[in-house]
Structures are given as structure tokens and as C-alpha cells.
Amino acid sequence: MKAVLLFFTVVVSIAPGIVVHAAPGAGCDQIINNINTVVALIDQNATDYWTHRGNFVDLIYGRSSQVVPNAKQLAEQEQSQADTIKQGMPGRVNSLKGLLTAAQAQGCLTPLQQMAVVEPSIKNGKRVNFDQFPAEEPPEAVVGPGPPQMPR
């Protein structure tokens, strides 16, 4: 059991670096090339999205909010750039799902290739698609006496 778990841990950890190779079949080379292209695009877009989101959070809540003079405007730019990426993500994920269906119909992908390469990219795309930016204004601190204390 430990060997199986170790195997899948290794497969999942190296999955982003794996490229799907075409199985013999009519049209598999083109489908696999398209899958690899869309997988790379989704992964790069997801990385870019999370970078913009992280910059936004830093500019609104982090140290940059106090140091950068125009932090609010820069945060709005970061959010705008992330929103642009996010808007295109559902189409990219749907495109990848369509290519996956075509590859399965022609027998171009093994289940291991699908699990190691395609499914993580679909999950990355969905995470971006369903993410929500935090509010632009930091919550106001409530100053008061605090909660009542228990008797001793």
C-alpha cells in the first residue's frame, strides 16, 4: 500500500512537467499537440492570475499599502488584469474538455496521462474561475472592551 501511495505521490509531484505523448492513431498527434498547448496556456494563465491577486492583496492589506503612494490605483490595475484572465478561463477549460473528449474517443490518451496532465489543469482553471477577490477596503478594526471574561 505504501508503494502505491509513494508512486502516486511521485506522479502527482512531477505531473506539471509531463507532456502528453501521442498514442498511435489517426489524428492523435494534432489532438495531443492541441491538448499540450491548452494545458500550458491554462497553467500559465492560472499562475498569472494568482500573481495579480497576490499583488492586489499586498497593495490593499500588506506592507505596500503603507509604502506605495498610489497603492489603490495599482491594486485596481492588478484586479483588472486578473479579471481579464479570469474571463477567458471558462472557455479555455471547456476547450480542454472538448479536446479530452476527442482524445478519449480516438484512444489517444491513457488514463494515467489524463490524470497526470489534463485533470490538474482543469482544476487550476476552475480554481481561478471560482475565486473571488477580497474587498478593496480593509475591514475597520473594532475597538472595545472585548468579550466578557469567565469568572474564576
Q: Where are the domains of the chain?
A: 28-130
Q: 151: pLDDT confidence band, cut at 50, 70 and 90?
A: confident
The mean pLDDT value of the chain amounts to: 80
Q: Residues 95-104: contacts with CB within 8 Å, 24+ apart?
A: 95/38, 96/35, 96/38, 96/39, 96/42, 96/121, 96/122, 96/125, 97/122, 99/31, 99/34, 99/35, 99/38, 100/35, 102/31, 103/28, 103/31, 103/32, 103/35
Asked if pLDDT for residue 29 goes beyond 70, the answer is: yes
Q: CA dihedral defined by 10, 15, 16, 21, rounded to 10 degrees?
A: 140
Specify the pLDDT at position 146. 60
- Find the mean pLDDT for residues 12-28: 51
Q: Of the given ranges (33-42, 44-53, 63-72), which has the lowest mean pLDDT?
A: 63-72
Query: The C-alpha cell of 122 is what?
Result: 482543469
Q: In this structure, are residues 56 and 79 in contact, taking their beta carbons and an 8 Å threshold?
A: yes
Distance CA 121, CA 124 (A): 5
Q: What is the pTM of this model?
A: 0.71
C-alpha distances (whole Å) from 98 to each of 57, 71, 124 are 34, 41, 17
